[in-house]
Chains A and B, each alone.
Chain A
């Protein structure tokens, strides 16, 4: 697989920010995940390895180190639920339970219809507005189960 021309063009600019090309790898992985199906496929790793002049296994080594990079395809919507301390003190467990029930999903799982992936995550820096979830890359804070219903109800 070749990287889309649009991404190549972006990466050519990106790597000028750094004295060494490789520094662009993590930002590039983010862009690939955003543009190429929400995950980092083996094909993507190979294409990135070629672009950065690395071995595919080096790209895998980096991609697998960072929790934000998904190495399996997610559902259409990804719901990250913070399960760290400040959120837990304000009801994260209830939010997790509710999100799973409403979406027919288990933590770290994807619903049978492929619509939702629910992912427990560590502290997201929203502790003073706990509990929180990140829905498709957007924070939703000061959550209640009612707010969760509203959010999920509005999803296609």
Chain B
């Protein structure tokens, strides 16, 4: 692997990295100062964001600068407007935003303020999953510190730019990571995703123009503003720019959250960064970016971990959360867990998703426990095809269908063998209990 410059995680290893003093001593709030004192115009910032080609780090990979430019011009549309930072981080395998929030909260706050200036927002809400108490408390303390220092609230750095940043707690529902589910939840309702259109830029929080961005996306903003969009887009591959956080979990020797430039292969990540597959075993299968991506085989590890390369392999980058499985892993058990997860998290508004996720969960459960029926694999495939793409209000149905279709395609023989033998030869130990909630 070639050497590269780290910028995302540099501060996270410093003592007291969460304090304003350490943040400032290490270049913090310089980008905001540049924006406010130079000053840069909102249009100039959006132009830099576009030039950077930063794509959203929350899973869908939408270009950030373009998203910001969808916000209406306040001269023509004077309604209040908001940014909701998506810190719901609940996609299985994904544990990267937490590192930034716990270790470098001011980096996120500075990004929020620049975003607020560029989109001329009234307020920013950081929606943190309720279980992330440490992220929440750390950010809350950092915001208080920044407010005291005149960086958050009225007349930031003594200029006429004002912006509030508020913390908001979710309560354990994965669907509230979907951007419109998040908005409903922030409004104090059940997290039921909204049909689109209307899109958030026109009708978001409280019906007002709203942008939703992932934590890591916003965290990149101060670096882009300080060093320029051209610098950012000089890192990476054709359509995947900058460094990214790769969380790698499962059967590797050194699971962790690592900063890497786009362009490295999955094999380099597994072997050189994460210390190889544990117990001297081989890689059987892996998810490139959370459990809603298509599974890939061990042989596919030579692929570059970026948007385009993974697409050519029939999968996607998702949240860049690699979940690695060794050659003793039961794919029936893996899929049983993943299908249970989507069934548990479906909000129930769309019949294809509500019923589909339930069926997938039941079928994978019976295959994994030796009660599979002869046509179950075919049923899984036709069910998954009936759920997605684009058949439901949100993409949770797709998130359940995609890994299912990949498992049925790649591990058909293994699943059929479980059915034929009326037992899963690779079954790990299990504790039986029915799901609650």
Contact = CB atoms under 8 A, between A and B. Distances in A.
A123 B433 contact: no
Interface stretch (B9-17, B86-94, B358-366): B86-94
Interface string A111-138: 0000000011111111111100010011
B314 interface: no
Given A30-B169, A128-B247, A20 B344 contact: no
B93 A127 contact: yes
Nearest to A109: B433
Most chain B CB atoms below 10 A, which of A68, A130, A134: A68
Given A20-B206, A93-B429, A108-B433, A26 B248 contact: no
Given A85-B337, A123-B93, A127-B95, A30 B130 contact: yes
A125 B248 contact: no
A29 B92 contact: no
Interface stretch (A4-12, A59-67, A147-155): A59-67
Interface stretch (B18-26, B131-139, B296-304, B393-401): B131-139
Contact of B344 (A97, A122, A138): A122
Nearest to B335: A85
B333 interface: yes
Given A23-B186, A86-B93, A94-B429, A122 B251 contact: no
B80 A125 contact: no
A29 B187 contact: no
B171 A29 contact: yes
Contact of B337 (A26, A83, A108, A139): A83
A19 B341 contact: no
A90 interface: yes
B333 A107 contact: no
A17 B429 CA distance: 48
A61 B185 CA distance: 12
Contacts of B133: 137-138
Given A17-B166, A25-B188, A108-B436, A86 B130 contact: no
A89 B93 CA distance: 11
Contacts of B94: 123, 125, 127
Interface in A60-95: 61-62, 65-69, 80, 83-86, 88-90, 93-94
A86 B429 contact: no
B249 A89 contact: yes
Contacts of A65: 173, 190-191
B244 interface: no
A148 B315 CA distance: 37
Given A125-B90, A127-B321, 20 more contacts: A19-B206, A25-B188, A26-B171, A62-B189, A65-B191, A66-B170, A85-B291, A86-B249, A89-B325, A89-B329, A93-B430, A93-B431, A96-B431, A120-B436, A123-B341, A124-B131, A125-B97, A126-B98, A127-B95, A128-B249
7 contacts: A17-B123, A67-B172, A80-B131, A90-B249, A90-B251, A97-B429, A126-B95
Interface of A: 17-20, 22-27, 29-30, 52, 61-62, 65-69, 80, 83-86, 88-90, 93-94, 96-97, 100, 106-108, 119-130, 134, 137-139
What are the nearest 10 A-B pairs in CB distance? A66-B171, A25-B188, A68-B172, A86-B249, A67-B172, A22-B188, A127-B249, A107-B433, A68-B171, A65-B190
